[in-house]
Amino acid sequence: MVRQWVLMLLFIVLLGNTPFAVAQTEMDYKPTQQDLFQDYFFEALKQKGIENYDKAIVSLEKCLKIEPQNATVYFELGKNYLSLKNYRNALSSFEKATQIDPTNKWFWIGIYDVNYATKDYVGAIATIEKLIVFDSKFKEDLTSLYMNTAQFDKALALINELNETVGKSDRRESYKIQILSQGKYQNAEIQNLIEQIQKYPKEEANYISLIYLYSKNNDIEKVIATAQQLEKEIPSSEWAQVSLFKFHLENNEGDKAVKAMNMVLASAKIDSKIKHRVLNEFLIFVNSNPQYANALETAVGYFDQDTEVNVAKELGKFYHSKKEWNKAIKYYELANSKTETLELETNVLLLQVYAEAKQYEAVVKKASNLIDFYPNQPQFYYFSGLGYNQLQKFKNAKEVLEMGMDFVVDDRALEINFNIQLGEAFNGLGDVAKKEFHFSKANQLLKTK
């Protein structure tokens, strides 16, 4: 019993002394400088996170009083100043960080961010040169900086280096085109391409670029030599044939020209404008060398799916201008077969050459069909009447011409032709008065034309 009382008394004493003990411990505790530093630093991060950059800077300055050579604190100061667009203090803070620890690339990136924000491209170049030591990918930025500071020779050299080491990019190729538009840099690029071809003889793009530059300089011999070298190294190259085609034409090597042309026209890589130019050049060649006319017809077939230019129609116009009526008819008819709807101009031209070739049955048949599709187009009535007159079907001519005359509006030349054909029709019908009336009217229109 005595023992229980002793234990209870001891418990009461201990319970009574606890608040005093805790109070005494708290009075003895003092935060260390390191504790304070951490408190200030984390407070700064918190304030920056909620965009209270000024308060973050105050906390960071307290950190510096404790650790004046802490590079990370200067780096954080720089980021806060940069967010406030206080570029002067931002740059000073980042520079201080790099002075303390020049091996941390993020400190240099901070300086670069200030350079870029202030458009200090010269300063940015100096900073990027430091960053390249850490990561060669920064050379991409250096290319843009050289362009912004008009250091095109350095930009071109770096572009060529990157093209070889990491491959081409759309941005660098755009820069290169901009640089090479200035003739003084072309010689350096020509030399670079020659060296690239020597190193990588199977890389087609280098030959194409070199041919392009030689062409701009009108150095045809070097164009041909480069194209021949390309053909030798890459026999399947379609681009080589573009230059070789012209070379073969100039040397009157028709068979070789046809072979080259067919490779170009069949290529999915070569632009349609180049293909049209090749075909036009071959057309002129065929005009003097008709034995290759069959090759021309084959060439036209390559343009069946061309929605921009009706090649057959253009060939028809070419032969039309040469007064080779039968060839013109052939290609105008082919042009018609390649369109889903009847095209007005092509059919007017076709009727003209039918008439020139004295194919009057074809004129009447074609014009009559066209009137059904274009009942308001007076040209088709005119050709129908002309055809009937030539076939001596004067009544038919009279009827169709009088019907079509109603649609002639503000076209004096066509009105004259209508009156002439009506005069012919009435002459054939023996109606002298109306014949004279229409011939007289045609003369009056001619005098006032």
Distances (CA, A) of 230 to 233, 292, 337, 354, 442: 5, 27, 39, 48, 65
Task: Tell me which fold the domain 359-449 belongs to.
Answer: 1.25.40
Burial per residue of 294-313, b for 16 or more beta-carbon CB atoms within 10 angstroms, e otherwise: ebbeebbebbeeeeeebbbb
Please identify which residue in the block is written with the tokens 């670079």.
Answer: 192
Residues in CB range of 101: below 8 A, 6 or more apart: 71, 107
The neighbour count for residue 433, using CB atoms within 10 Å, is 7
- Are the C-beta atoms of residues 375 and 353 closer than 8 Å to each other? no
Half-sphere exposure of residue 314: CA atoms within 13 angstroms, side-chain side: 14
Q: What is the pLDDT of residue 112?
A: 94
Angstrom distance (rounded) from CA 311 to CA 21: 105
Largest Cα separation within the chain, whole Å, is 163
31-134: CATH class: mainly alpha
DSSP letter for each residue of 403-422: HHHTT--S-HHHHHHHHHHH
Q: What is the pLDDT of residue 15?
A: 41
Q: Which of 431, 345, 420 is nearest to 390 (CA)?
A: 420
Distances (CA, A) of 191 to 161, 195, 310: 14, 6, 42
Helical (H) or strand (E) element with 81: helix 71-83
Residues in CB range of 415: below 8 A, 6 or more apart: 405, 408, 445
Distances (CA, A) of 320 to 52, 308, 350, 433: 80, 21, 9, 38
Q: What is the pLDDT of residue 208?
A: 82
Q: What is the pLDDT of residue 20?
A: 43
Q: What is the mean pLDDT of each run of 10 residues along the chain (449 residues)?
A: 39 41 52 84 90 92 92 94 94 94 94 93 92 91 89 88 86 84 79 87 85 77 82 83 84 90 85 82 87 84 76 86 90 83 87 95 94 91 95 94 90 91 93 92 83
Q: What is the pLDDT of residue 78?
A: 93
Q: Is 332 exposed, middle or buried (0-12, 13-18, 19+ CB in 10 A)?
A: buried
Q: What is the pLDDT of residue 380?
A: 94
Tokens found for residue 379: 């040209």
Domain residue limits, the chain: 31-134, 236-309, 359-449
The reply to whether domains 31-134 and 359-449 share a CATH topology is yes
Helices (H), 289-393: 293-301, 311-321, 325-337, 344-356, 360-373, 378-390
Angstrom distance (rounded) from CA 339 to CA 358: 26
State the Cα angle at 145 between 142 and 151, rounded to 5°.
105
Q: What is the pLDDT of residue 69?
A: 92
Q: What is the pLDDT of residue 86?
A: 94
